[in-house]
Amino acid sequence: MTRLSEPAPAKLNLALHVRGRLPDGRHAIETLFAFCTDGDLLHAEGAEDFFLQVIGPMAEDLDRHHDNLVMRAAWALRERRPPMLDGCASLILDKRLPVASGIGGGSADAAAALRLLTRLWKMDPAHASEIAPTLGADVPACLLSMTARGSGAGTDLELVDAGISGAPVLLVNPRIALSTAAVFAGWDRVDLGPLGDWREGRNDLEAPARALVPAIGDIIAWLAAQPGANFVRMSGSGATCFALFDSEDDRDAAAAVCPSTWWHLATFLR
């Protein structure tokens, strides 16, 4: 049986402005999504039923219950298959990104499942695009995995060229899971204005995230002090922070001295 594989790249929010509430109760945001060349990895091959095996350094932190995002994506896509086609899939998720860390790990895994099973079952990719927003606000962006401006709940996307492809980046997380709902609940409900130039923007979720996990402030200060770091910010609802570097050597030098109590990933922007 042929095995197919699909990357689930780590997602970064280069800026994230919270603008208010949408009629359906979700938060209205403006953000610039970017994606790394590294992340989780999903494998699949045809099978008579659905099976999910989770491996990798972060496997023990992931809920392997049938209701996780990978399985929800798989079931939702299978429901749209032509009735004459039988079979499910055996899935292996190589979990390398921290869970609940603001870099879209679960959303990226769900998006990878949609892309991968669309290939395996030879389905119209339009089905994956229709399912993605039902799985989470970040899933449509992760399905594209390309630099894009997000608005609304983050699901209204516009591809952009931010001139950052290939930029060396270092991701750092304090190994503390952080609830997205709890961080949004701590937002002060003050609209500080629209997103223009992402380098001049902000992450409106940083303050409530730091109130829950003070180590975020330590990471941001440490990254900003590293030679060659030219841009530092927290991603999403945290607690992962990142720095863009002038060169790969500068990034690697920072990675080499990153405190051992923190998780880190040296990678590039796609």
Is residue 47 within a helix (H) or strand (E), and if so which, with residue range?
strand 27-47
pLDDT at 83: 72
Predicted local distance difference test score (pLDDT) of residue 66: 46
Q: Select from 3.30.470.10, 3.40.470.10, 3.40.50.1860, 3.30.230.10 the CATH code of 4-158.
A: 3.30.230.10
Name the phi and psi angles at 86, rounded to 5.
-100, 170
Say how far apart CA 214 and CA 44 lie, in whole Å: 39
Are residues 53 and 93 in contact, defined by beta-carbon separation less than 8 angstroms?
yes
Look up residue 196 and give its DSSP letter: -
- Tell me if 150 sits within 8 A of 16, measured CB to CB: no
CA-to-CA dists, residue 163 to 10, 150, 198, 230, 269, angstroms: 18, 17, 12, 15, 10
Task: Give buried/exposed letters for 54-92 (b at 16+ CB in 10 A, else e).
Answer: beeebeebbeeeeebbbbbbbebbbeebeeeeeebbbbb
Q: Which of 38, 40, 109, 138 is catalytic?
A: 138
pTM: predicted TM-score of the whole model, two decimal places = 0.95
Superfamily of segment(s) 168-268: GHMP kinase, C-terminal domain (3.30.70.890)
Contact in structure between 140 and 131 (CB atoms under 8 Å)? no
Return the pLDDT at 67: 56
Q: Which of 138, 42, 131, 91 is nearest to 123 (CA)?
A: 131
Instruction: Return the domain boundaries, the chain.
Output: 4-158, 168-268
pLDDT of residue 84: 64
What pLDDT, on a 0 to 100 scale, did the predictor assign at position 85? 67
Q: Which two tokens stand for residue 215?
A: 């180590």
- Catalytic, 138? Answer yes
**Cα dihedral across residues 12, 18, 19, 20: positive or negative:** positive
Q: Which amino acid is present at 46?
A: G
List the chain pLDDT tens, one digit each, 270 residues. 689 999 999 999 999 999 999 999 999 999 999 999 999 999 999 998 889 999 999 998 876 554 589 999 999 999 998 776 677 899 999 999 999 999 999 999 999 999 999 999 999 999 999 999 999 999 999 999 999 999 999 999 999 999 999 999 999 999 999 999 999 999 999 999 999 999 999 999 999 999 999 999 999 999 999 999 999 999 999 999 999 999 999 999 999 999 999 999 999 999
